[in-house]
Amino acid sequence: MKFHGKPRTQTAAFLPLCWLFLKILQPGHSHLYNNRYAGEKVIRLIPQTEEEANALKKIYYELQVDLWQPSSISYVSEGTVTDVHMSQNDSRALLAFLQEVNIQYKVLIEDLQKALEKGSSLQTQRKRRSLSGYNYEVYHSLEEIENWMHHLNKTHSGLIHMLSIGRSYEGRPLFILKLGRRSRAYKRAVWIDCGIHAREWIGPAFCQWFVKEALLTYRSDPAMRKMLNHLYFYIMPVFNVDGYHFSWTNDRFWRKTRSRNSWFRCRGVDANRNWKVKWCDEGASMHPCDDTYCGPFPESEPEVKAVANFLRKHRKHIRAYLSFHAYAQMLLYPYSYKYATIPNFSCVESAAYKAVNALRSVYGVRYRYGPASRTLYVSSGSSMDWAYKNGIPYAFAFELRDTGHFGFLLPETLIKPTCTETMLAVKNITMHLLKKCP
């Protein structure tokens, strides 16, 4: 599967080299995001007692904090791994406070701007794309992903059909790929979405990887052939298109959609708290400025409404719903909104158990698995719970690599290993669907 760019000429092959020399000779080259993250830090702290947790919550409201983990300060209690991203000045204030009250901490990222620029291959690798096929080991902008989808729709029309299922708040089309061999017979389907949360860039990279692997191994791998012959995959590489675009152009750590609010200046809704399942209850915020804001009403976000409509329309066929997030290394299933155990728990649990084992078999990376409420935290209005409640029996959410070393800035060099191992887990779950669960 090649991206057919311009013919490979001598001059074209030398261009990247010349460009590289220019970069080296140029001393103060331009910074990503206008250098806005210079000196900012990511700090991990784990309160050991409830008093420490409460002290932390108190100072949280006095400082400007971008919470990386967990997604809301309300989740912080004794023993919660808490990763915070702050300005240089605020982190100074926080560190002084932590030393004073004697809370243990660790600086995960000393200088976010430097980490961001180091983790990204900048233009050097991106240039390579037009010379030697599509590069799946870099993060791609929304425009690049859309062009890639259009290209596949043209070149692989036997297995791929690209369609739009609606429009985003800012008017962008919401594209999905229908992947699988076309046949007249009734086929069950698997839904996969990536990038509900804008800053979790490894998600869209995985969706692209999945499609690439499917096309590349359809002929050689009997398991893949069976999957594409017997199932359709509906794949949405970027769910939150407006937010993803914004995370490339303005704020690398943006999470929500980009919708405006009538009364507040803060924009956006958490697209994973906006679904009509115990909407805006525990683990969701009613405040528009919070990262877990549930929105003014269920399905208020056009992106959520479009996907919900599509799933409602196809729910008789769709047997599995898979949603890709980061970071935590977990494989989660319902419920998110309550601690109760789902009916048919054993089928879902054994699928998850096998999937994380398959994943671990590649590089030994361990994933925790279990009901989202017990494994991660209680959250209401999530897409996974909604899918499950609407009759899709296998509903999963992946929290991909890592566990905080790089956090949202997972370097491009880790795209390949992360996607390779995740691929095995997804195939394992899918093969499970094709069997009868006892």
Which residues are at the interface with ligand NAG (CB under 6 A)? 89, 153, 157, 162-164, 343-344, 354, 357-358, 393, 427-428, 431
Binding Zn ion by CB under 5 A: which of 325, 401, 427, 432? 325
CA dihedral 401, 272, 281, 69 (to 10 degrees): 30
258 binds, among ligand NAG, Zn ion, none (CB under 5 to 8 A by kind): none
Nearest to 320 by CA among 434, 411, 421, 151: 434
Is residue 67 within 8 Å of 432, Cβ to Cβ? no
401 near Zn ion, rule: CB under 5 A:
no
Task: Pick the closer one to ligand NAG by CB: 228 or 269.
Answer: 228
197 near Zn ion, rule: CB under 5 A:
yes
Instruction: Mark whether 399 is an active-site residue.
Output: yes
C-beta of 60: minimal distance to Zn ion in Å? 20
Task: Pick the closer one to Zn ion by CB: 52 or 83.
Answer: 83
171 binds, among ligand NAG, Zn ion, none (CB under 5 to 8 A by kind): none
Give me 317's structure tokens: 């066929």
Strand partners of residue 189: 232, 318
Task: Pick the closer one to ligand NAG by CB: 36 or 128.
Answer: 36
C-beta of 390: minimal distance to ligand NAG in Å? 11
Is residue 69 within 8 Å of 82, Cβ to Cβ? yes
Is residue 199 within 8 Å of 112, Cβ to Cβ? no
325 binds, among Zn ion, ligand NAG, none (CB under 5 to 8 A by kind): Zn ion
C-beta of 398: minimal distance to ligand NAG in Å? 16
44 near Zn ion, rule: CB under 5 A:
no
C-beta of 80: minimal distance to ligand NAG in Å? 28
Among residues 40, 301, 399, 412, the one annotated as catalytic is 399
Residues 60-119 that bind Zn ion (CB under 5 A): none
Q: Which residues, including other chains, have CB under 8 Å from residue 370's CB and lie 6 or more apart? A: 332, 333, 349, 352
The answer to whether the bond into 363 is cis (omega within 30° of 0) is: no
Q: Which amino acid is at 7?
A: P
Backbone angles phi and psi of 294, in degrees to 5: -85, -10
Number of residues that bind Zn ion (CB under 5 A): 2
Strand partners of residue 293: 285
197 binds, among Zn ion, ligand NAG, none (CB under 5 to 8 A by kind): Zn ion
Q: Which residues, including other chains, have CB under 8 Å from residue 242's CB and lie 6 or more apart? A: 168, 169, 170, 172, 257, 258, 303
Q: Which amino acid is at 99?
A: Q
Binding segment toward Zn ion, per CB under 5 A, in 154-162, 174-182, 192-200, 414-422: 192-200
Is 96 buried (19+), middle (13-18) or exposed (0-12) by CB count in 10 A? exposed
157 binds, among Zn ion, ligand NAG, none (CB under 5 to 8 A by kind): ligand NAG
Task: Pick the closer one to ligand NAG by CB: 64 or 413.
Answer: 64
Binding segment toward Zn ion, per CB under 5 A, in 47-55, 292-300, 303-311, 317-325: 317-325
Q: What is the DSSP letter of 339?
A: S
The answer to whether the bond into 334 is cis (omega within 30° of 0) is: no
Task: Pick the closer one to Zn ion by CB: 37 or 201.
Answer: 201
In terms of DSSP bridges, do strands 82-86 and 66-69 run parallel, antiparallel, or are they unpaired? Answer: antiparallel
Please name the residue that has the structure tokens 């999905």: 176
Task: Pick the closer one to ligand NAG by CB: 227 or 409.
Answer: 227
Give me 384's structure tokens: 């996974």
Task: Pick the closer one to Zn ion by CB: 245 or 325.
Answer: 325
Interface characters, 227-256, with Zn ion (x: CB under 5 A)? ------------------------------
Which residues contact Zn ion (rule: CB under 5 A)? 197, 325
Residues recognised as catalytic: 399
